[in-house]
Amino acid sequence: MVEPYDAVDVIRTKRDRQTLSDDQIAWVIDAYTRGVVADEQMSALAMAIFLNGMERPEIERWTRAMIESGERLDFTSLGATADKHSTGGVGDKITLPLVPLVAAFSVRVPQLSGRGLGHTGGTLDKMESIPGWRANLTNEEMFDVLREVGGVICAAGSGLAPADKKLYALRDTTATVDCIPLISSSIMSKKIAEGTGALVLDVKTGAGAFMREEARARELARTMVDLGTDAGLTTVALLTDMSTPLGLTVGNALEVRESVDVLAGGGPSDVIELTVALAREMLAAAGKPDVDVAAALSDGRAMDVWRRMVAAQGGDPDAALPVAVDTHTLTAEHDGVVSAIDAMDVAVAAWRLGAGRARKEDPVDAAAGVELHAKPGDTVRAGQPLLTLHTSDPARFPRAEQALAGAISLAAPGTSVATRPLIIDRIA
């Protein structure tokens, strides 16, 4: 087969700040998937995109090419469907209560999720702390769970946007992850190929977010909303704060416990607020704008769906979750008001305790993590617990404590602390 383009010419085009044609993009993605374009050539192209950017039509065509590299699912036979994607944060367990909450209103939720890498926790890692639960389902099994239960959380199959899977691994090792055209096309190629009827994006900004600067997070949100809209997918984004960890736990089993508390009608107010806000957006996008979302948490409907959903994937919703062998509590050195908790510092501590992984092959300690006993605005006394560290390996405590050395800021007693709103903006 004679190839219509040469990889070097495509690289040169973007290196010289020119616009890639539709045909060039379609060819290079297909050729890379087939192995005709080598990793080092795609690395060079990714770096050229990282440095020089892409115009909106280029990003749209790049996304479409990645979708075309694999299969597309079709859930139309199941009725109304909606999905959610978060750009990742610290203590971000929202998917766990959100899926059964939306499914309680007869909108099916095919939540294809991933594992954690670096400081952000993965939804599948959290769910796998439930004894017996399994993430890998065939397409037929996924459809069965959606049909019978209404919601599913599982790993994406290898047939969805295989070009993205290959390219993502390359970007992770070539310092080209933090690139809005490549991030947005990576996320949206999988979500569009997934075939959901509506998509709500939770784009985070702040110390613990992938996009720390609000302007860049806003640009990412707008780019993804435009990509979804161009593809005929109803897409909305919420720009949310990730300067402070969500909820009171960061870790796998710890976050599952907190999620179950929310489904039981309790839980931290910020987790409830974001879960309900995202559920309202998903339901409105699916044609149900006027339902009482919060009531389904308090009356047990969402909990019923959760239990059935866990059981449908082999898990035992009544089983005891893993508990850390060792804990260590950090206390306040003096009286004061918590003025800030740095989400990234807490994330690094949880990572060092064993809750995260540095490489995708690394195991995680399901019981490891950090428990918060106070949030910004809370008054604390000297000696009062601030954080409890959980791990199965006490040798991990010193490095975790190092990460937390400046994580919590205390203002003078009586100080009024201004907190940033959790939901900063809505982009549609």
Q: Are residues 42 and 191 in the same domain?
A: no
Task: Spell out the residues 6+ positions from residue 393 whose beta carbon is closer than 8 angstroms to its own.
Answer: 325, 326, 354, 365
Strands (E), 70-218: 83-86, 109-113, 151-155, 198-205
The CATH number of whichever domain residue 398 belongs to comes to 3.90.1170.30
**Both tokens of residue 399?**
């490095």
Distances in whole angstroms, Cα of residue 95 to Cα of each of 18, 127, 272, 310: 40, 10, 12, 13
**Does 418 reside within a domain?**
no
For residue 165, give the nearest of 29, 368, 21 by alpha carbon.
Answer: 29
- pLDDT tens, position by position, 129-175: 999 999 999 999 999 999 999 999 999 887 889 999 899 888 878 88
Choose the final residue of a domain: 312, 340, 364. 312
379-380 vs 249-251, strand pairing mode? unpaired
Q: Are residues 183 and 246 in the same domain?
A: yes
pLDDT at 284 over 80: yes
Choose the final residue of a domain: 245, 280, 312. 312
- Structural domain of 396: 326-411
Residue 422: strand, helix, or coil: coil
Q: Are residues 341 and 240 in the same domain?
A: no
Residue 114's pLDDT is what? Answer: 82
Quote the percentage of the chain above a pLDDT of 90.
Answer: 89
Distances in whole angstroms, Cα of residue 373 to Cα of each of 257, 264, 384: 15, 20, 9
Please report, as a single letter, which amino acid is at residue 228: G
**Both tokens of residue 361?**
């092959």
d(CA 421, CA 428): 19
Residue 119's pLDDT is what? Answer: 65
**Both tokens of residue 326?**
């060792």
Q: Are residues 342 and 301 in the same domain?
A: no
Q: Are residues 109 and 230 in the same domain?
A: yes
As to burial, measured by CB atoms within 10 angstroms (0-12 exposed, 13-18 middle, 19+ buried), residue 384 is middle
Residue 64 phi/psi, 5° resolution? -65, -40
Q: Whose structure tokens read 């809005």? A: 180
- Neighbouring CB atoms inside 10 A of 360's CB total 12
Which pLDDT band, with edges at 50, 70 and 90, does 120 fall under? low
The CATH number of whichever domain residue 154 belongs to comes to 3.40.1030.10
Q: Are residues 134 and 263 in the same domain?
A: yes
**Both tokens of residue 348?**
């690094």
Residue 333's pLDDT is what? Answer: 94
**Does 60 reside within a domain?**
no
**Does 118 reside within a domain?**
yes
What's the domain count of the chain? Answer: 3
The phi-psi region of residue 314 (left if phi > 0; otherwise alpha if psi is between -120 and 50; otherwise beta) is left
CB 380 within 8 A of CB 332: yes
**Does 197 reside within a domain?**
yes
For residue 54, give the nearest of 39, 70, 65, 67 by alpha carbon.
Answer: 65
For residue 261, give the nearest of 93, 131, 99 by alpha carbon.
Answer: 93
- pLDDT tens, position by position, 201-260: 999 999 999 899 999 999 999 999 999 999 999 999 999 999 999 999 999 999 999 999
Please report, as a single letter, which amino acid is at residue 155: A
**Does 427 reside within a domain?**
no
Residue 173's pLDDT is what? Answer: 82
- pLDDT tens, position by position, 2-40: 899 999 999 999 999 999 999 999 999 999 999 999 999
Q: Are residues 136 and 210 in the same domain?
A: yes
- pLDDT tens, position by position, 345-399: 999 999 999 998 777 677 889 999 999 999 999 999 999 999 999 999 999 999 9
For residue 154, give the nearest of 143, 164, 169 by alpha carbon.
Answer: 143
Q: Are residues 116 and 190 in the same domain?
A: yes
d(CA 44, CA 14): 10
Active site residues: 85, 164, 171, 186, 190
For the chain, the C-alpha Rg in angstroms (whole number) is 22
Q: Are residues 276 and 330 in the same domain?
A: no
Quote the percentage of the chain above a pLDDT of 70.
Answer: 98
Q: Are residues 82 and 178 in the same domain?
A: yes
**Does 421 reside within a domain?**
no
Distances in whole angstroms, Cα of residue 77 to Cα of each of 51, 102, 150, 232: 43, 18, 13, 18
**Does 101 reside within a domain?**
yes
The CATH number of whichever domain residue 49 belongs to comes to 1.20.970.10
Angle, helices 56-68/180-194, rounded to nearest 10 degrees = 40
**Residue 158 DSSP symbol:** T
Residue 123's pLDDT is what? Answer: 93
Q: Whose structure tokens read 């770096």? A: 47
CA dihedral sign, ordered 23, 180, 240, 67: positive
Which pLDDT band, with edges at 50, 70 and 90, does 122 fall under? confident
Q: Whose structure tokens read 């290898």? A: 158
Mean pLDDT taken over the chain: 94
Q: Are residues 350 and 299 in the same domain?
A: no
For residue 210, give the nearest of 92, 358, 341, 113 by alpha carbon.
Answer: 92
- Neighbouring CB atoms inside 10 A of 402's CB total 12
What is the residue-wise DSSP string for 362-407?
A: ----TT-EEEES--TT-EE-TT-EEEEEEES-GGGHHHHHHHTTTT
**Does 394 reside within a domain?**
yes
**What is the distance in angstroms between the CA of the first residue and the CA of the last residue of the chain?**
44
Q: Are residues 308 and 335 in the same domain?
A: no
Distances in whole angstroms, Cα of residue 211 to Cα of each of 13, 177, 243: 28, 11, 11
